[in-house]
Amino acid sequence: MALLSLRGHELGVCWRQGRWVVLRRGQETRTLRPAEVSAIHCLGPVDLTPSARAAALARGVPVVFLTADGRYRGRLEGARGPTGALHRAQVTWLEEPAHRVALARQVVAGKLDNQRTLLLRAQRRHADPRLTAAACSIRAMARRARAEDDRQRLLGMEGEGARLYFSAWPALISNPEFSWSGRTKRPPRDAVNACLSYAYTLLSARADDAVRTVGLLPGVGALHESGRGAAALVFDLVEEFRAPFVDRVVLRLVNRRQLAPEDFEDPAHRTVSLAAGEPGRPVPSGAVYLGAAARRLLTKELQRTWREDLPDAVSDERVRAEWLWERQARRIARVVQGKEPDYRPFQWG
pLDDT digits (tens, 9 = 90+) for 283-330: 455 788 888 888 889 988 998 888 888 777 776 777 777 778 888 998
Stronger pLDDT, 280 or 43, i.e. the higher one: 43
- How do residues 127-136 score in pLDDT, each as one tens digit? 899 999 999 9
Pick from 119, 121, 146, 144: nearest CA to 134: 119
Q: What is the rounded average pLDDT of the residues 157-186?
A: 92
**What band does 279 get if pLDDT is binned at 50, 70 and 90?**
very low
| Alpha-helical runs (H) found in 31-128 | 50-59, 84-95, 97-125
In the prediction, which pLDDT does 67 show?
Answer: 72
Is the model's pLDDT at 145 over the cut of 50? yes
Say if residues 234 and 218 touch (Cβ distance below 8 Å).
Answer: yes
Q: Indicate the SS3 state at residue 323.
A: helix
Mean pLDDT computed over every residue of the chain: 86
**What band does 206 get if pLDDT is binned at 50, 70 and 90?**
confident
Lowest mean pLDDT among 30-39, 236-245, 294-303: 30-39
Say how far apart CA 198 and CA 207 lie, in whole Å. Answer: 15
111 backbone φψ class: left, alpha, beta (φ>0; ψ -120 to 50)? alpha
